[in-house]
Structure formats: structure tokens, C-alpha cells
A and B are shown apart, each in its own frame.
Chain A
Amino acid sequence: MQALDCRNLKELLDSYLCDELSVETNHAVLRHVEQCAPCRAEMAARRNLRETMQRAGTQLRLSDESRMRLREALRAEMLRPQLDENETPAPAREITIPARRESFFKRLFAWPPSMPLAATLMMIAALGITGWFLFRPDVTSAAQLSAALWREAVGDHGYCAAQFAHEEGPVRMAESAKSYDPAYAELDRIAEVGAQGLKLRAAHVCSFAGRSFAHLVYTRDGELISLLVTERNASAMKSGAVPNDDGLRAGLQQAIQNDLKVSACQTRRHIVLVVSKLSEKENRMLAERIALPVSRHLRSVESLTTK
């Protein structure tokens, strides 16, 4: 190898410092710096820079809490029967339940129990015309949710809920949930009323396939039930775009994947899902009890945070 000049040497210095040069080139570098004081100084400065960067850069580590979450998620995954990642799961079968006439009226009357009758009547009158539009099935059904969302919800239930099946409650939604979404803070309390007969096992924020969920894990007679709340973003929607605030979010949508049933309802910014192995009907009834109050709560939180 020919002798190096200072310019060549500077090009090679970093690779020399991270041991990427051939033995021959290494020798050439060393021979040059032995005789050249400025290059020796530059080598020392770059070595110092690299060591400083390494020392400062490796200070940051996963918190113990994060490490524990990672380990738990991994162990839960290891307990699952293996599904090759190339095998695509069976597509979710979707069942859309058109908003029903009686449920609309029932909710209309049940809604503000303390409201004076006159005001209620006025409201009915005001809604009379829009009501007609609302009853048309193509308009009443909520914006369609995407197959990806169904898969993610079922996946999160499968991966995460099982780990908590035997946890002893009562637990409260962790403070940290607020940092994901302030609307997640009170979810466990809101769902509590409808969740009678269910045992709350866990309340936290978790994620599956890149989607974050606020997750309440319940059991009833040994059956796991997940209440999940997630962001209503473009990937959650079948159309690939979040609808404008359409106001037409009535009704539950249902899907079945493998033997899991999912019922979902939407608000302007969120989607609330109930996942279990119960029958379609039972899952839907449960969703009406626990998901609908949660969605009402979220709507009120959302209306407060609207700019």
C-alpha cells in the first residue's frame, strides 16, 4: 500500500476508528500518523469525539416499566399457538346492524331523564325532518370500519387480555393513560355501571400491530371480555379516510373473526369495541351496556376539547 497523504488519511480516519479497514490500510494509517503531528492530533480529537458520543448516546435505556411490558408482551406471544406471519388471518366477516327504529326512540326518551316534557317534544318536532333522513338505512349506518381495525382489536384481545385473566382487581386506569389520550383517564369508572356482573381485571394502554388501545379487561364466568378504545384515524376506516364529523355514528357494527365477536361504535375521534367469545347476540348486548356509555362519555369529552 502506498503512503497516504493527509487528505487521504482524513478520509480514512473514521473507518480506522471503527475498525473497518483492512490490515494493510490500517498499517498505512498508523505509519502516517507516526510522522505527522497534525494528523495525530486529528486522530485523537476524532477518537475523543466518538467516545464522547458513545458515552452520552448510550445513557438512554428503556425504563424498567417499559422493559417489563416488552417482556410480558413477548411471553404472551410465546404462549400463543404459532401462526406463521405469512399466513394471512381469515378475513373478518362483517355484519352491519342498521340502526333500529325502536332503539332510536328508546334512546331519545331515555336520554335526558330530567328534561321537561315540553322541551323533549320540541326536540322531537325539530328532529322530525332530520329523523326521516336518519331512518334511511344507507344514511343511518355508521361509517364502515376497516378489516384492519377488526384484526387489530381481535389481536389485541388475544395477545393482551389473556395475560390478565387471573389478575386480582380492583385496578384503576393508570395515570400514564392520560399521556396517550386525556379521554382515556376515566374510562374504567364510566364503564363500571354497565359492567355489573363482570370482573375488571386490568385497565391500561397497550398496543397491537402499531395501534394503541385503552384496554379494560373483564371476565365473566371464566370468559374474557375486552373493552377497547382507540383513535378513529384513517386506517380504522374502510374508506381509508376519516369521515368529516358526519354526526351519523349511531348503531353498533359487528364482525366475527375466527371465534371472536366484535361490536363497535364510533364517536368523532374514537372507536369503542367489545371483543369476546360470547355469542353475537350476547356480545352485542354487552356492548350496548358498556360501550355505549363510554362512547357518550367520549363525545362529551370531545366536545369540550373541540377548538
Chain B
Amino acid sequence: MTNPEQQPADFEATALVYADQLFRVALRLERDYGRAEDLVQEAYLHAWRSFHRFEPGTNLRAWLYKIMFNRYYTRRRAERLSLLPFEEEIAGTIAYDPPAPQQVTDEEVMSALDELPRDFQLMVALADIEELSYREIAEALGIPIGTVMSRLHRGRKLLRTALAGYARRAGYHTAE
């Protein structure tokens, strides 16, 4: 069932509450404040134009993310293709699963996250910061849920590995 009557007030009230989180994710994609803002705006305008096709009762947040990723990847198709295989390879080589650090500062976590390869960074940010479910992430990115789980698993492992590195440099002891 689609929504024949587009209600501007409905759309504004229900969709705009996600603007901050879409923006944070856009910033991970674009790495530039102005471009991230443009991407979010583009996603919202696009979403409004196809709002009549949105099925009430289904997940609005995942739908908005999906539109945003589509806008982004349409523009950057070439980049995406060149990034993925390489990053998959890096992550595939990590066998060690370090324990989570006992003490960690906001800055350490955020800079470790920012340094992850982007596709893993994105997964971790979506699941652990923006609290999307695995299914929502799969829907938003248009990939199978199994792929979400495996990338997320590797992403979190990479993050802990980076944090263990910080901890060692800072002289903390981790429980082994």
C-alpha cells in the first residue's frame, strides 16, 4: 500500500528527526562538512519526492538511509568498486581478537574509529553509534544481512585491535 496523500507536515515531523544521524553518517562518507550537508539535503529532497511511494508502517529511518546511500554511491560508483576488494583483503588477514580495553577515552575511541577502512567504519558507526539493527543496515545498504554481520564482526575486531595498540602505547594493561 502506498500513500496517496502526501502530507508535508507528516514528512517533516517524522523524517527530520533523523537529520542529525544522517548527517553524521554523511560526514563519514564525504569527510567534508559542506558536502555532507549537501548530501543530507539531497537525500531529504529526494525522499520527499518519492514519499508517496513510502509504505506507512515500514521503516522510515532505514528508507532514508537507503536513499542517502543511493545518492552517494550513484555519484561515487567507481570509487566504491575500487575500495571494497582491497579492504576485504586487509580484514581477512586478522586472526587475533583482542579483548576490549578496560579504560578508554572518548577521543581514543573516536580516532580509532575514524582510522578504520571506511566500509568497516560505516558498519560500526551504523550499528554501535546510530543503533541501527542488522536488518536495517542490510536494507539501507542493499546488501545481504550475512554480509552486514561479517563486516561488522571484522570492523569491531579492527577497532579493538586499534584500541589495544593505544592502550599498549599508553602503558595500560589489558586483561589477557
Q: CB within 8 Å of B: which residues of A?
A: 10-11, 14-15, 18, 20, 38, 41-42, 45-46, 48-50, 52-58, 60-62, 66-67, 69-71, 73-75, 77-78, 82-85, 159, 179-180, 207, 209-210, 212
- Is B55 close to A, CB under 8 A? no
Q: Check A61 against B23 for contact (C-beta < 8 Å).
A: yes
B46 touches A85 (CB 8 A): yes
* Chain B residues, CB < 8 A from A82: 6, 49, 52
List A contacts of B134 (CB < 8 A).
Answer: 15, 20
Residues of B at the A interface (CB closer than 8 Å) are 6, 8, 11-12, 16, 19-21, 23-24, 27, 34, 37-42, 44-46, 48-50, 52, 71, 75, 97, 99-102, 104-107, 109-110, 113, 124-125, 127-131, 133-134, 149, 152-153, 156, 160, 163, 175
Given contacts A42-B99, A56-B110, could you give 11 more A-B pairs where the C-beta distance is less than 8 Å? A20-B134, A45-B102, A53-B128, A54-B129, A60-B23, A67-B19, A70-B40, A74-B44, A78-B8, A85-B50, A210-B39
- CB<8 Å pairs between A and B, sample of 5: A45-B100, A48-B104, A74-B12, A74-B44, A180-B34
Q: Which residue of B lies closest to A62 (CB)?
A: B23
B interface, over-half SS = helix
B25 CB to closest chain A CB (Å) equals 10
A53 touches B38 (CB 8 A): no
Q: Which residues of A contact B106 (CB under 8 A)?
A: 52, 55-56
Determine the chain A residues whose CB is within 8 A of the CB of B100 once the complex forms: 42, 45-46, 48-49
Question: CA of A84 to CA of B99 in the docked complex: distance in angstroms?
Answer: 51
Q: How far is the CB of A58 from chain B (nearest CB, A)?
A: 6
If A14-B156, A71-B16, A180-B34 touch, whether A209 touches B42 (CB-CB below 8 Å) is yes
